[in-house]
Structure 1
Amino acid sequence: MTSRLVGLLGSWDDGRAVAASLADRIRSLVLDGRLTVGEKLPSERALAAELHRSRATVSAAYERLATAGFVVRLHGGSTRVTLPHGTRVMPDSDTALVDFTIASTGSTPGLHAATERALNRLAELRGTSGYLIAGMPELRERIAARFSQRGLPTSADEIIVTSGAMHALALLFATFGQPGRTALVEQPTFPHAFEALRRSGHRILTTPVTSAGWDVRHLTTTLLDARPHLAYLIPDFQNPTGASLTDDERRQITATARSSGTLLIADETCVELDIDRPFTPHPFAAHGAAITVGSLSKLAWGGLRIGWIRASRDQVERILSVRPTIDLGTAALEQCIAIELFDDMTTLRRHIRARLAAGRTALEASISAMPGVEVPRVAGGLSAWIDLGEPLSTALSLAAQDRGLRVPAGPRFSASGVHERFMRVPITLAPDDVSAGMAILAEAWAEIHAGTRSSSRAGHLTVV
């Protein structure tokens, strides 16, 4: 049986010394979170047999990882994943680390004032129990009104307030998940979503999406042939590709899912991140039965953990019957802040549009320093899914990390370890940060193509 490590390795031999290539690939899997701290790796003998390499090669790779602090060798011969300790010293620089791993904007300028106003709302709740399992009625009404404005008539009793979008997904998988059944996801996609599906016992089936859009024929054929129990899609400014489904495509997918008996979950956490999309589609659930997940975190601030679920009343009842086994409601103060922000949604959207447009401009201006790399024109969302033209994403990620830039490799967004030709670059950061990060990435790109990169550098990045 193939070990989990070998299944994750994919294409790892980059033409350098074999032990160095193998160690770098495993290090990338640790930094990406695909190998977890404490996880036991195959023995030297077993891994050598699986890879059809010598035991000495595997031993040398493990030794490199142990020296760098990415594995620990225990008595009895076992090797387990760990993380190096200590402070990262950037080579030849004392500048701050640039982080491309989190595609999220800073807080909106109105957040502080909204928080101050929210305290009065919070004071009014002191005479209650504070446990609002479905969410504050006022906030549910505002979320429902926003759906209605976008073309999907919605009432407050079809809304559940959650502590962010991932919490919403956890509630949905706990309520409707069926371990052992198949779940269809886009590839690439938001990695924590398919990881959550796997933890809930689902088998993952993928359908391709690129910056140009979906292969809708593949998606609908897969729905009809495989009849997955559920499908998780990001129809607006898909993470990481930035693509959006048209209304016609949404109609086709929802009609097919109805025929296949598939529960559709539409993640709309990026729907408000519009710069200049040439069309404005209706909400996914306006075209057919679907549960919608949304969030205020990408729009206002990542530290504001407010999300929601829109579902039918029957589905809402089922979710609320399960929720007390997970939590007893979303923090009241954060809900009060969210109410204030919803009341000034126009200003909020104007700010995020300007922020994303500036980040996009900085990215496009920086890419000329990386010959052969293509940046698709993104109309909104969190990031650009850049095409490296060569399967160098992991090598580039590692070289960039050695220079002080954290950037995830393309396979991090894949359920099967593919997409070595691509890399996600956020447009959410301040323009100066985007430019600084891209300058480091360009240096790493030049280093790889000059063939001068060494895999033996010390001081590997410790933050995942």
Structure 2
Amino acid sequence: MDRYLSAPQLARLVRVPADARPYYRALAAQVRELILDGRLPVGVRVPAERHLAEALGVSRTTVTTAYDRLREQGYLESRQGSGSRTALPDPGALGTDNPWIAPDDDGLLPMHSAAPPATALLGEAIEEAGRGYHRYALGMGYHPAGLAPLREAIARRYGERGLPTRPEQIIVTSGAQQAVHLLMAALAGPGDPVLVESPTYPHALDAARMRGARLVPVGIPDDGWHIDLVTCALRQSSARLGYVIPDFQNPTGHLMSREDRVALVDAARRYDVTLLADESWAETALDEAETPPPLAAFDTDGRVVSMGSASKLWWGGLRVGWVRGSAALVRRLAVLRSAVDIATPVFEQLVVARLFERIEETRAERRRTMGASRDALAAALREALPRWSFRLPRGGGSLWVRLDAPAATAVAEAAAARGVRLAPGPWFGVDGTLEGHLRLPFTQPPQVVTEAVRRIAGGVPQQGYRPREPLTPTL
């Protein structure tokens, strides 16, 4: 049965102001909203470009460009001879709107990325590293597992946090993202079930998908983890690998309690699961309250593998991360990465080794600056958008905001038109869910996050969600 819309039908549904600029972008946004809202079902054939152009009173080129944009974003699928049909994109595929490849000088406030600016200590660390850099020029320059001074510094820090660690248990990577990719490549295969939180870090989902793994999401409610739900998912899915963010979870900001850490590791042991614990935000506590030891501190048989990063505490431009695991796993990862980039650059490793010597200074700096931004963002939201709700996290870099309706994609589109790039909830989910949430980072200065909220609020009334009856297409 062929389901289709006539040009007059679709023209009545898309309400694009005649003065919209550029018109094709606004038209594509309207069609996308209809699909996400359920008023335009998936799999329905849309009218030909010429017919829709006539119905709208615009040029065929305008409609063609709008259709092209929808195809690139995954909302239209076209086949020669059978026209174009509505579709839903893979949640991990952001098409031409992918923010990670967008230019950083396009004028939009970068509220899609929870990446803080460089620490004030970076310049001094660079100077200090430069004074000893020449000594490493005597060798080949390849250190697949990482420079000894940095591995020692990372191991020492784990010990200070309550997890005794030897340097040979550490491999230095090119950022935490490479750590995730290496571990997925080593431990997950096509069709393997991999447990993930929902919401979670989008690039971890990408890494699992690239391996052909089957994602097993387990929801994280507004009050944090329910370990019984995690345990149930492990038992029912037969997953042997799980990716979790116990420390200021991205994007929710939740901090897993000591009791939940014990219970999670016990469940992993019971069902023979290896846990990948992403600790990228672990050092960004914004309140003085004591934080629990690393998840691996409760492990007795090597089933918790930890990942860390210099990006959130010091600066993302350093591209330095690490994995803490068994010495055997470190050797395996070093061999695996040899086909990718052989080793992390020497100079950046020296810089991070210097920064580790002053880690408490940086943590105090982040508490002061990011804490002020968190409070400014929360205050601005309560004043400008009081129907949105959130829990104030004790650390991390973002608020996980619940909207008053499932309209995150529409809100993000409206915000972009007002100069703010946002991260809608579906980016952090497995199957297109989480339309009722936005991640709003507080890694920018207070004046930036306050201005961003002002612009977002200015676009919400015009783009607010209005539930309607689903459209019944012509059969």
Is contact 1:19-1:57 (8 Å) kept?
no
**Cα distance 1:145–1:23, how it changes in 2: closer, same or farther (>3 A)?**
same
> When the two structures are aligned, how many residues end up with a matched partner?
409
Match status 1:330 vs 2:326: no
Aligned twin of 1:346: 360
Aligned twin of 1:149: 160
Tell me how far 1:52 sits from its aligned partner. 6.1
Match status 1:406 vs 2:405: no
Match status 1:273 vs 2:292: no
Once residues 175 and 323 of structure 2 are traced to their aligned partners in structure 1, the CA distance between those partners, rounded to angstroms, is 10
Mapping of residues 144-223 of structure 1, within 5 Å: 144-223=155-234
Aligned twin of 2:239: 228
SS of equivalent to 1:56:
coil
**Cα distance 1:83–1:181, how it changes in 2: closer, same or farther (>3 A)?**
closer
Aligned twin of 1:389: 404
The one of 36, 42, 46 aligned to 1:51? 42
Once residues 49 and 348 of structure 1 are traced to their aligned partners in structure 2, the CA distance between those partners, rounded to angstroms, is 50
**Cα distance 1:356–1:96, how it changes in 2: closer, same or farther (>3 A)?**
same
* Aligned residue type for 1:113: E
Once residues 282 and 320 of structure 2 are traced to their aligned partners in structure 1, the CA distance between those partners, rounded to angstroms, is 15
SS of equivalent to 1:213:
coil
SS of equivalent to 2:194:
strand
Which runs of no fewer than 5 residues in structure 2 stay unpaired? 1-11, 17-25, 54-59, 73-77, 86-93, 467-475
SS of equivalent to 2:277:
strand
Aligned twin of 2:56: none
Once residues 203 and 95 of structure 2 are traced to their aligned partners in structure 1, the CA distance between those partners, rounded to angstroms, is 20
Aligned twin of 1:119: 130
Tell me how far 1:214 sits from its aligned partner. 1.0
Tell me how far 1:389 sits from its aligned partner. 2.1
Once residues 128 and 347 of structure 2 are traced to their aligned partners in structure 1, the CA distance between those partners, rounded to angstroms, is 11
Once residues 433 and 40 of structure 2 are traced to their aligned partners in structure 1, the CA distance between those partners, rounded to angstroms, is 23
Tell me how far 1:96 sits from its aligned partner. 4.0
Once residues 398 and 324 of structure 1 are traced to their aligned partners in structure 2, the CA distance between those partners, rounded to angstroms, is 41
Query: Cα deviation per residue 1:197-219 (whole Å; 9 max; x = unaligned)?
Result: 01111000001113420121100
Tell me how far 1:295 sits from its aligned partner. 0.2
Once residues 82 and 165 of structure 1 are traced to their aligned partners in structure 2, the CA distance between those partners, rounded to angstroms, is 23
The one of 245, 256, 263 aligned to 1:245? 256
Tell me how far 1:227 sits from its aligned partner. 2.0
Once residues 193 and 111 of structure 2 are traced to their aligned partners in structure 1, the CA distance between those partners, rounded to angstroms, is 32
Is contact 1:71-1:79 (8 Å) kept?
no
* Aligned residue type for 1:24: A
Tell me how far 1:447 sits from its aligned partner. 2.4
Query: Cα deviation per residue 1:95-142 (whole Å; 9 max; x = unaligned)?
Result: 942111111110001101110110122111011111001000110000
Match status 1:256 vs 2:267: yes
SS of equivalent to 1:207:
strand
**Cα distance 1:160–1:52, how it changes in 2: closer, same or farther (>3 A)?**
closer
Is contact 2:171-2:322 (8 Å) kept?
yes
Tell me how far 1:320 sits from its aligned partner. 2.0
Is contact 1:25-1:394 (8 Å) kept?
no
Aligned twin of 2:20: none
Query: Cα deviation per residue 1:56-97 (whole Å; 9 max; x = unaligned)?
Result: 29985996472486257999568799749xxx9xxxxxx942
Identity of aligned residues (%): 34
Once residues 267 and 196 of structure 2 are traced to their aligned partners in structure 1, the CA distance between those partners, rounded to angstroms, is 15
Is contact 1:23-1:65 (8 Å) kept?
no
Query: Cα deviation per residue 1:370-402 (whole Å; 9 max; x = unaligned)?
Result: 131113111110100011121111111111111
Aligned twin of 1:70: 69
Aligned twin of 1:286: 297
**Cα distance 1:28–1:448, how it changes in 2: closer, same or farther (>3 A)?**
closer
The one of 24, 28, 39 aligned to 2:29? 24
Match status 1:435 vs 2:450: yes
TM-score by length of 2: 0.80
SS of equivalent to 1:250:
helix
Larger radius of gyration: 2
Q: Tell me which moved more, 273-282 or 107-116.
A: 273-282
Once residues 251 and 126 of structure 1 are traced to their aligned partners in structure 2, the CA distance between those partners, rounded to angstroms, is 46
**Cα distance 1:149–1:72, how it changes in 2: closer, same or farther (>3 A)?**
closer
Once residues 323 and 254 of structure 1 are traced to their aligned partners in structure 2, the CA distance between those partners, rounded to angstroms, is 28
SS of equivalent to 1:210:
coil
* Aligned residue type for 1:318: R
Is contact 2:27-2:66 (8 Å) kept?
no
* Aligned residue type for 2:306: T
SS of equivalent to 2:230:
helix
Once residues 319 and 96 of structure 1 are traced to their aligned partners in structure 2, the CA distance between those partners, rounded to angstroms, is 40
SS of equivalent to 2:189:
coil
**Cα distance 1:50–1:389, how it changes in 2: closer, same or farther (>3 A)?**
closer
Q: Tell me which moved more, 241-250 or 52-61.
A: 52-61
SS of equivalent to 1:51:
coil
Mapping of residues 303-322 of structure 1, within 5 Å: 303-322=317-336
Once residues 337 and 184 of structure 2 are traced to their aligned partners in structure 1, the CA distance between those partners, rounded to angstroms, is 11
Aligned twin of 1:355: 369
Is contact 1:144-1:155 (8 Å) kept?
yes
* Aligned residue type for 2:112: T
* Aligned residue type for 2:379: A
* Aligned residue type for 2:333: I
Is contact 1:210-1:241 (8 Å) kept?
no
Tell me how far 1:321 sits from its aligned partner. 2.5
Query: Cα deviation per residue 1:307-336 (whole Å; 9 max; x = unaligned)?
Result: 000001121222222221222110000001
Is contact 2:15-2:30 (8 Å) kept?
no
